[in-house]
Amino acid sequence: MHEFVYRRPPLYDKQRAAMFDPKRISLIEASTKSGKTVSGIIWLYEQAMGRHARPGRQFWWVAPVSAQARIAFNRMRAHFTSKETGQSIFGVSLTDRSLITPKGTVISFRSGDHPDSLYGEDVYAAVIDEASRFKEESFHAVRSTLTATRGPIRIIGNVKGRKNWFYQLARRAEQGDPELGYHKLTASDAVEAGVLDEGEIRSAQSILPEHVFRELYYAEPSDDEGNPFGAEHIRACFAPLSERPAVAWGWDLARKQDYTVGIGLDADGCVCEAMRFQKPWNEQVQIIKKWVGNSPALVDESGVGDPIVEAIKLPANRERGDNVIELSCPRLEGYLFTFRSKQMLMEHLAMAIHERRIRFPEGPISIELLNFEYEFTKLGIRYSAPAGMHDDCVMALALAWHCFDNRQRNYDTDLDWIGEA
């Protein structure tokens, strides 16, 4: 019986935080050569040697195809082989690409090419590698193997466009899904940690097409057809949250699992207030009243929104001495979302973004804008967030911009009239 002393190899801070996230499911979008594979190998080994280690228990590394699974298999073997003696801590089966740990657990390296071959096992931890190229049906199969064990999973890969399950699930995680962890490792992180050479990054940038370089080294998806705003235009509108007061507001009210979102724009069209919450309707009414006051505001009055708009205006009414009713938010109006009105609202916002007339901070607003989609239907253009994702911030921003632009137009008209007088 040999005794092995294990010390975790050094990982840089973001690498360690991503792979050892306390959440059961962690998604890691990473640049090429940023250390996602080696950290995944270390994590899976520690899972196989940890508190759930029992002889025969399965721990999986699953890649899109056999050749990629073989790469990880060989790297783990090499990683835990003594350079002095050439002795591996593992029992090795080359036939089925599996490693037997000193505790008798089995680390298997599998291909996701045939989803049906992945069902049936009870797996205690798993890594899905190159997830943006991994079949969604295979992800479903791997996820099912962890059900009985409640085993953790790490889903890692480069970014490759937007129309794949990994990208969309990562956006859910990034937006705060309580069951999902989210991390991004970029070339800049790897350079700062000494994992990559900055000169090599510059060389790659000089040779590769820009959209390919941004995907591979900065985990930024190419601007697939279907986004009405354009990733390049969205990023050009990034600006810190303004400290000036709001002159126009947009409010999108919650439905089911969505959030109520309020966005205020300052006099230059820059986001100065942004709030996102889930609260009872009576509390939402009071919050909206407090922030809007006498400012112009547009509030979504579709569905449940109609009585809410009235509640914002009327319950706090009070009679003045001349018996005239004074509204609590006199410049607040409802906006009814229909197929046509939503299309007009989105096109109005897209024009503002393309012309750089609106500014917003990076975060929930920019994430939703980057994920927003459109498609052509018989009735016209349909705008929406991808399935399972939120569009509350986009709706509130569009309402705020429409309110702001109408205010600006009315202000300009008033000035023209004063000039004529």
CATH number of domain containing 96: 3.40.50.300
CA distance 330 to 189: 50
> Is residue 187 within a helix (H) or strand (E), and if so which, with residue range?
helix 187-192
Domain that holds residue 160: 13-218
The answer to whether residue 225 sits within a structural domain is: no
| Together in a domain, 250 and 279 | yes
Per-residue DSSP letter, 304? T
105 φ/ψ angles, rounded to the nearest 5 degrees: -75, 160
Report pLDDT for 398. Answer: 97
Residues 142 and 275 in one domain: no
Radius of gyration of the chain (CA): 27
Shared domain check, 253 and 118: no
| Residue 314 burial (CB count, 10 A) | 12
Please tell me whether residues 175 and 35 are part of one structural domain. yes
CB 66 within 8 A of CB 111: yes
Are 250 and 353 within one domain? yes
Domain edge (last residue) among 184, 218, 252: 218
Look at residue 417 and tell me whether its pLDDT is greater than 90.
no
* Predicted local confidence at residue 376, as pLDDT: 60
What pLDDT digit, counting tens, does each position of 60-110 carry?
A: 999 999 999 999 999 999 888 877 777 788 998 998 899 999 999 999 999
Closest residue by Cα to residue 397 from 300, 309, 310: 300
In the chain, the number of structural domains is 2
Q: What is the residue-averaged pLDDT of the chain?
A: 87
237-287 pLDDT, tens digit each: 999 999 999 999 999 998 666 789 999 999 999 999 999 998 888 888 999
Average pLDDT over residues 45-54: 93
pLDDT at 280: 87
pLDDT digits (tens, 9 = 90+) for 290-301: 999 999 999 998
On whether residue 241 sits in a domain, the answer given is yes
User: pLDDT-derived band of residue 380, with 50, 70 and 90 as boundaries?
Assistant: low
Higher pLDDT, 256 or 194: 194
**Is the model's pTM score more than 0.85?**
no
pLDDT band at 359 (very low <50, low <70, confident <90, very high): very high
Q: What confidence category does residue 162 fall into, taking pLDDT thresholds of 50, 70 and 90? A: confident
In this predicted model, what pLDDT tens digit does every residue of 163-193 receive, in sequence order?
A: 789 998 999 999 889 999 999 999 999 999 9
Q: What was the pLDDT predicted at 378? A: 61
Angle among Cα 162, 185, 149 to the nearest 5 degrees reads 80
Residue appearing with tokens 């197929």: 339
* Residue 41 belongs to some domain of the structure: yes
- 116/112 Cα distance (integer angstroms): 9
218, 249, 265 — which closes off a domain?
218
Nearest C-alpha neighbor of 26 from the set 221, 182, 239, 202 = 182
Kindly state whether residues 247 and 210 are assigned to the same domain.
Answer: no
Closest by Cα among 283, 276, 148, 163 to 223: 163
The residue-averaged pLDDT of 39-54 equals 94
Q: Which two tokens stand for residue 367?
A: 């994430």
- Asked if residue 178 and residue 149 are part of one domain, the reply reads yes
The residue behind tokens 């009713």 is 325
Phi and psi of 183, rounded to 5°? -145, 155
CATH number at residue 408: 3.30.420.240
Please tell me whether residues 316 and 408 are part of one structural domain. yes
